[in-house]
C-alpha cells in the first residue's frame, strides 16, 4: 500500500483536497469550467502524493553472495573510485537515480550487521550529477555481511529531495531486501563494492529494489 513516511502527508492532502472540492462547489457556480479545472488539479495532486508514497508488496530476492538493488531506478554511473569516508581504498561505485515517479523505498542490499551509519549535511545538486555523492545531503551506511565482507551504500538527497530517512542504526542486524529508509522527492543511492565483484548490470539499466541483482560477490 503506502509507506509509513507518507502517512501524515497523505492525511493532510486528503483533508485539504476534500475541503477544496467542497468549497469550490459552493463558491464557484457561475463558471463550471474554472471550478472543474481547480477541482481536477487538486485531485491530481492528491493522486501524485499517493503514487509517490506507494510501497508495493514484493517477492524479495535474497541471495547471500549477491548484492540486491537498494532502490528502484536507473543505473546512471559505474566507475572505480577512491572511497575516503570509511574504507580508505578503491571501490566499485554503482549509482542508481530515482526519479519522482519511481518507488522511493530504500532496501538493504545485503544481510548482516550495520557497522557504520552517519548523516552528512550538504548541498542539493541534481542527484544524477557525479559530485552529488560527496557534496549533497547524504547518509552513509556500511553493513558487515556474513560471507562477502563490508558493503557500503549511500542515500543522497537531490535538488528536490529535502529529507532522508534512515533506519540503519549501528549494531542493528538487518535482512537483505527489507525496508532501510526513504528519500522524499527525487534522489540517488550509491553502492560501493569490492573491486573483485562480478557486475550484473550496466549503465542505463532499470533496476527494482529488493529484486534486481546488482553484483555477485567473492568470498572474504
Burial zone of 61 (CB within 10 Å; 0-12 exposed, 13-18 middle, 19+ buried):
middle
Tens digits of per-residue pLDDT, 1-36? 887 887 888 899 899 989 988 888 888 877 888 888
- Give the predicted TM-score (pTM) of the model: 0.86
Tens digits of per-residue pLDDT, 53-84? 888 889 899 988 899 999 999 999 999 999 99
Phi, psi angles (nearest 5°) of residue 102:
-80, 160
User: Catalytic residues, which ones?
Assistant: 187
- Position 22 scores a pLDDT of 87
What's the gap between Cα 138 and its chain centre? 11
Q: Number of helices and strands (H, E) in the chain?
A: 3, 14
Q: Taking Cα atoms as reference points, which of 78, 47, 49, 104 lies closest to residue 192?
A: 78
Phi, psi angles (nearest 5°) of residue 69:
-55, 130
Question: Which residues lie closer than 8 Å to 153 by C-beta, 6 or more apart?
Answer: 70, 109, 140, 141, 143, 189, 190, 191, 192
Query: Considering the domain 66-216, what is its CATH architecture?
Result: Distorted Sandwich (2.70)
Amino acid at each position: 500500500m503506502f509507506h509509513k513516511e507518507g502517512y501524515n502527508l497523505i492525511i493532510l492532502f486528503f483533508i485539504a483536497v476534500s475541503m477544496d472540492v467542497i468549497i469550490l462547489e459552493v463558491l464557484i457556480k457561475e463558471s463550471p469550467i474554472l471550478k472543474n479545472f481547480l477541482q481536477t488539479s487538486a485531485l491530481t495532486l492528491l493522486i501524485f502524493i499517493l503514487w509517490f508514497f506507494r510501497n508495493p508488496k514484493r517477492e524479495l530476492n535474497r541471495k547471500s553472495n549477491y548484492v540486491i538493488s537498494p532502490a528502484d531506478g536507473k543505473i546512471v554511473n559505474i566507475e572505480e573510485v577512491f572511497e575516503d569516508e570509511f574504507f580508505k581504498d578503491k571501490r566499485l561505485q554503482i549509482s542508481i537515480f530515482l526519479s519522482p515517479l519511481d518507488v522511493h523505498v530504500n532496501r538493504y542490499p545485503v544481510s548482516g550487521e550495520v557497522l557504520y551509519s552517519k548523516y552528512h549535511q550538504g548541498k542539493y545538486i541534481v542527484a544524477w550529477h557525479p559530485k552529488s555523492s560527496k557534496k549533497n545531503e547524504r547518509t552513509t551506511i556500511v553493513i558487515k555481511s556474513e560471507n562477502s565482507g563490508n558493503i557500503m551504500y549511500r542515500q543522497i538527497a537531490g535538488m528536490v529531495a529535502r529529507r532522508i530517512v534512515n533506519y540503519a542504526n549501528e549494531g542493528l542486524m538487518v535482512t537483505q531486501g527489507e525496508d532501510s529508509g526513504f528519500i522524499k522527492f527525487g534522489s540517488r543511492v550509491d553502492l560501493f563494492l569490492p573491486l573483485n565483484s562480478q557486475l550484473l548490470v550496466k549503465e542505463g539499466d532499470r533496476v527494482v529494489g529488493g529484486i534486481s541483482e546488482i553484483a555477485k560477490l567473492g568470498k572474504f
